[in-house]
Amino acid sequence: MPASYGFLSTYPPTQCGLATFNAALATHLNGHLGNGVVRLVAGDDQGGLAVDKAAPRVVHTWPTDQPGGWAAAANALNRYDVVIVQHEYGIYPGDAGDEVLPLLRALKKPKIVVLHTVLANPDAMQRVVLERIVAVADAVVTMTDTARRRLAECYQVDPRKISVIPHGANSHSTNSPSTGVRGRTEVPHLLTWGLLGPGKGIEWALRALAELDEPRPQYTVAGRTHPKVLEHSGDVYRDGLKKLAADLGVAAVVRWEDKYLDQAELSALIRSADVVVLPYDSTEQVTSGVLIEAVGAGVPVVATEFPHAVELLADGPGLLVPHQDPAAMAAAVRRLLADPDVTSRLTGLAGGPTLRWPAVAARYQALAAKLLTTRTPAAAAASVPA
């Protein structure tokens, strides 16, 4: 009989990358057969505490602004054969999110913790919390080899617990240049998508756009402003970008999609793109769902040298440029748009079926099966630190 999975994560209708990731993983792990989600809900989450048809797998909510919610969450997760916990800074209460630790210790079933961020230079508490998470977990997953190396080399952890399983890509947004599925228009289309906020680097993409010859490509910036950015500073970043576009003389070719796209809308938008531009400022980002989605869709990428891009694009489907260098970004875009042979060669290295969600879910299933086979009651007791 297939194992049942309990998940701990943000989850739709919450609009964030972590929620989308967990929903996709839950869908592909045995479909709807006995899986359940304990949904993390922050006090400012517009999705609220309701469990409705938008979140059919949700069996319990953990309001993270209320103390002690971990206990009921652990009880709900203990109903399942295997528990998969998503870890990201800022989603759990406590100092550096340390309230996840008593929950992990209270779990009686094999537990896999998926690390979405592994900081190269954590503060003292972030380091302690992550090392304790790895100590109490039966297995941890990083989505890149960069993150695995960083975790093994910079933290006091057991490297034997670490598995690398890539972020999944949606197969229905997959295109191949040889099939002609992705529509081409007379005006090339550049695309950046995802929650918008400082650090996204859109200002550098706009400056790169201004360096391209007329007629310039159309550039779509799709995605809502990040809810936490809106809460603290409103839409100052987006408004500043619009002013910059006007000052640079490119406002007429920039389209702002100020909404959270559902999967069908996102698929159509990706299919229309000639180049995906990821101008991120971050030098820490070891996982990017947007990058995986673009690569999985067979669309060439121009990205700054953040860790996940360096790992995936150095010999693969895109071009790397230095951070905050619009001239280099413009040159890379110009090269991709001008040379179909380069585009075909790059998109031909897109990783194929191994990045699709069914293949990714199969690797989680294999890891879970291994834990269920090898984890004895005595080992389970020994894995829980005092």
For 250-291, the pLDDT digits (tens) are 999 999 999 888 888 888 999 899 999 999 999 988 888 899
On whether both 311 and 363 belong to a single domain, the answer is no
Question: Which residue in 280, 275, 276, 274 sits closest to 325, CA to CA?
Answer: 280
Asked if 27 and 364 count as a contact pair (C-beta separation under 8 A), the reply is no
Spatial separation of the C-alpha atoms in residues 239 and 34, rounded to whole Å: 45
On whether both 257 and 288 belong to a single domain, the answer is yes
Cα 247 to Cα 210, 213, 237, 243, 353, distances in angstroms: 10, 17, 15, 6, 43
Question: Which residue in 13, 1, 46 sits closest to 230, CA to CA?
Answer: 46
pLDDT at 175: 44
On whether both 134 and 201 belong to a single domain, the answer is no
Per DSSP, helices labelled H in 65-144 are 70-77, 100-106, 124-136
Does the pLDDT value for residue 377 go beyond 70?
Answer: no
On whether both 27 and 144 belong to a single domain, the answer is yes
E strand map for 147-202: 162-164, 189-193
The strand order across the sheet containing 111-115 reads 58-63, 36-41, 5-9, 82-87, 111-115, 139-142, 162-164
36 pLDDT tier (thresholds 50, 70, 90): very high
Q: Which residue has the higher pLDDT, 47 or 262?
A: 262
Return the half-sphere exposure (C-beta side, CA atoms, 13 A cut-off) of residue 218. Answer: 15
On whether both 132 and 200 belong to a single domain, the answer is no
On whether both 110 and 220 belong to a single domain, the answer is no
CATH code, domain with 329: 3.40.50.2000
On whether both 371 and 349 belong to a single domain, the answer is no
Q: Considering its fold, how many domains does the chain have in total?
A: 2
Residue with tokens 């603290």: 232
Whole-model pTM? 0.83
Asked if 151 and 118 count as a contact pair (C-beta separation under 8 A), the reply is yes
Show the domain range for 86. 5-168+356-382
Does the pLDDT value for residue 116 go beyond 90?
Answer: yes
Coil vs helix vs strand at 48:
coil
On whether both 298 and 225 belong to a single domain, the answer is yes
pLDDT at 345: 59
55 pLDDT tier (thresholds 50, 70, 90): low
Mean pLDDT of the 125-143 span: 97
pLDDT mean across residues, the chain: 87
Residue 16 structure tokens: 């964030």
Give the residues across from 7 on adjacent strands. Answer: 37, 84
On whether both 72 and 123 belong to a single domain, the answer is yes
Cα 193 to Cα 213, 263, 291, distances in angstroms: 23, 12, 10
Question: Angle at CA 180, nearest 5°, toward 177 and 182?
Answer: 80
Asked if 142 and 115 count as a contact pair (C-beta separation under 8 A), the reply is yes
Spatial separation of the C-alpha atoms in residues 150 and 333, rounded to whole Å: 31
356-375 confidence digits (pLDDT tens)? 899 999 999 999 999 999 86
Does the pLDDT value for residue 242 go beyond 60?
Answer: yes
Does the pLDDT value for residue 72 go beyond 80?
Answer: yes
323-357 confidence digits (pLDDT tens)? 999 999 999 999 999 876 666 655 544 555 678 89
